[in-house]
Amino acid sequence: MNILFASQAIDGHFNPMTGVAMRLKERGHDVRWYTGPVFAAKLQSFGIPLFPFRRAIEHRADDLNELYPERARLKGPRAIGFDGEKIFASNVTNFFEDIRELDQDFPVDVVVADSSMFIHRLASHVMGKPVVSFVAIPNMESDQQVPPLFFGFRPPRNPAEKALQGLAGLLSDKVILRPASQSYRRQHATYGQPVPGGGRLTDEPYRCSDATIQTGTEPLDFPRRRVNPKVHYVGALLPHRGPDQQAAGGGDGGEFPRSYPSTLVITQGTVDNVDQNKLIVPALEAVKDLDALVIVATGGRGTEALKARYPQPNVVVRDYVDFAKVFDFTDVFITNGGFGGVQLSLSKGVPLVVAGINEGKSDVNARVEHAGVGINLRSESPKPANIAKAVGKVLADPGWKSRAGRMQEQFNGADPAAAAAAVVEAVVRRTPG
C-alpha cells in the first residue's frame, strides 16, 4: 500500500505522526512524506522518502516572525486570526497542487494529512483519495456541549456561562476565523467545491476525512453531545526515536540525584521558549528553595545562562530531557501546556501545573483543569507566588496524583502507534477499488 503522510513543517505537527509512519513502514507499506525540507535529515534517518514543498510556503515554528514581521506585534484574537489566514488557510491550494503532482510519480492509496493543512476536502473530493486526518491537538470539532475555541473555557455550568460562551463562539466564527474561512472558501470555489454552511472551518478535516486519528484520550476531552464514529482516540503518540536519538535523549534518569523527597520538572516547550521570564524563571523562583529535585528543560535556549543564575544543587538545567524516562519519578510537571507534553505527563500519571494561553494552549489547559489532573493558572506569565501555591497544593493533596493515575490507565490501555496504524489500514480495506 502506498501511504502518503502530509504535514506542516512544524515539530508539534510532524513529530507525533512519525511513530505511526514507522509502524506502517514496519508492516511492509511504502510510506513517503510530504512536508518542508527542514525535516529532510530526520526522514532520511527513518528511511522514509521526502517529497518537499514546492509551491507551498514552509512555515516553521522558528521562522514565522521572519516571514511575517507584523505577526510579532499581534496578541490574542488578532494573532489567532492572522495565523489562521496566513499560516494555515493560505497554503491550501499550494499543498494540494504539490500533492496532485507527486501522485503522478507515487500513486497514493491513502493520504494521512495533518488536520491543520485543510487539504482533506480537495484530496477526497477532487483526487478521489481515501483520507485520514491526523489531529495533533485537542479535538477541534464543534459540538453544542463543547466551548468555542481559543478562549480556554470549560463547559458552561450555568445559563450565564452558556450565554457568554455563545457570544464568544460568534466572535470566534464571525471575526477571528473569518479571514481564514473566506480564503478557504475562495480556494475551494476554483475547484468547483463549494463548502457547505454550518459548523466551523476547523470542522472541515472531520467532515471530509474517512477517519480521524485523534491524539489523546476521550476522558481528556470535553463531554460531547454528538459522538463522531469516525474519530478514533489513540492515546499519546510519541515521536519515533532511532537508536542515536535514544542515546542523546537525556539518559534513563539515573544521572539525576534521587535523594530528594519529590521531583519537579519545568519546561516552556520548544517553540514559545525565547522569553524564559514567562514561565521558566518564575517557576524556578517559586520552587528553587524547596526540598525537591528541580529539573528544567530549556528546549535549547539560554541553558548556560540559566545554569549560572540558578547554581543551587537541587536545580538541574538541561537543553533537553528524556521526559518519557524522567516522568517515571516526577511528582509535578510545570508546563505552558503543549499538548504532546501534557499527554506524556498523564501517560505516566504525573499531575500538572499549567500556565499558557497562546497557540491554543488555553484550550489544552482548560481540559487539564476540567479533568482534575492539574491546576490551571490561566496566565501566560504567572507570578512565582501563584506557581508556588499551586505546586504546594498538588504535592500536599494525593487526589491530584490519584486522578492522574486514573488517566494513566486510559492512556496505557493500548499501543497508540498500533491503534493509529490500524485506522489507516482499515480505511483502505473498506475503500472500493
Helices marked H in 226-375 — which ranges? Answer: 243-247, 280-287, 303-309, 323-326, 339-347, 361-371
Task: Give the amino acid at 397.
Answer: D
Torsion sign, CA atoms 134, 138, 139, 140: negative
For residue 3, the cross-strand partners are: 31, 110
∠ CA 384-270-420, nearest 5°, is: 120
Instruction: Collect all residues with Cβ–Cβ distance below 8 Å to 32 and sequence separation of at least 6.
Output: 2, 3, 4, 5, 48, 49, 50, 51, 106
Sheet holding 231-235, edge to edge: 50-52, 30-35, 2-6, 110-114, 131-135, 211-215, 231-235
Of the candidates 123, 141, 103, 126, the residue with the CA atom closest to the CA atom of residue 209: 123
Domains of the chain, start order:
2-209 (3.40.50.2000), 243-411 (3.40.50.2000)
Taking the C-alpha atoms of residue 187 and residue 191, their distance in angstroms, rounded to an integer, is: 7
Residues 147, 165: contact at Cβ < 8 Å? Answer: yes
Sheet holding 374-376, edge to edge: 315-318, 293-297, 263-267, 332-335, 352-354, 374-376
Helices marked H in 152-236 — which ranges? Answer: 159-171, 178-189, 204-207
Task: Give the amino acid at 178.
Answer: R
Taking the C-alpha atoms of residue 60 and residue 83, their distance in angstroms, rounded to an integer, is: 12
DSSP secondary structure string for all residues of 20-85:
HHHHHHHTT-EEEEEE-GGGHHHHHHHT--EEE-SSS----TTTHHHH-GGGGG--HHHHHHHHII
Q: Look up cell 499581534; give the residue.
A: 74
Residues 396, 390: contact at Cβ < 8 Å? Answer: no
pLDDT of residue 245: 53
User: In the numeric block, which cell numbers belong to residue 325?
Assistant: 524516562
pLDDT of residue 248: 47
Taking the C-alpha atoms of residue 190 and residue 210, their distance in angstroms, rounded to an integer, is: 23
Taking the C-alpha atoms of residue 251 and residue 417, their distance in angstroms, rounded to an integer, is: 23
How many other CB atoms are there within 10 angstroms of residue 197's CB atom? 6
Q: Could you tell me how many residues make up the chain? A: 433
Taking the C-alpha atoms of residue 420 and residue 401, their distance in angstroms, rounded to an integer, is: 28
pLDDT of residue 428: 86
DSSP secondary structure string for all residues of 305-336:
HHHHH---TTEEEES---HHHHGGG-SEEEES
Taking the C-alpha atoms of residue 7 and residue 15, their distance in angstroms, rounded to an integer, is: 10
How many other CB atoms are there within 10 angstroms of residue 131's CB atom? 25
Taking the C-alpha atoms of residue 7 and residue 14, their distance in angstroms, rounded to an integer, is: 6
Of the candidates 423, 433, 432, the residue with the CA atom closest to the CA atom of residue 3: 423
pLDDT of residue 416: 94
What three-state secondary structure class fits 219?
helix
pLDDT in tens, the chain (433 residues): 999 999 999 988 999 999 999 999 999 999 999 999 999 999 999 999 999 999 999 998 778 888 999 988 887 778 888 989 998 999 999 999 999 999 999 999 999 999 999 999 999 999 999 999 999 999 999 998 999 988 999 999 999 999 999 999 999 888 889 999 999 999 999 999 999 877 789 999 999 999 999 999 999 999 999 999 999 999 999 898 765 555 444 445 558 988 999 999 999 987 777 889 999 999 999 999 999 999 999 988 899 999 999 999 999 999 999 998 999 999 999 999 999 999 999 999 999 999 998 878 999 999 999 999 999 999 999 999 999 999 999 999 999 999 999 999 999 877 999 999 999 999 988 766 5
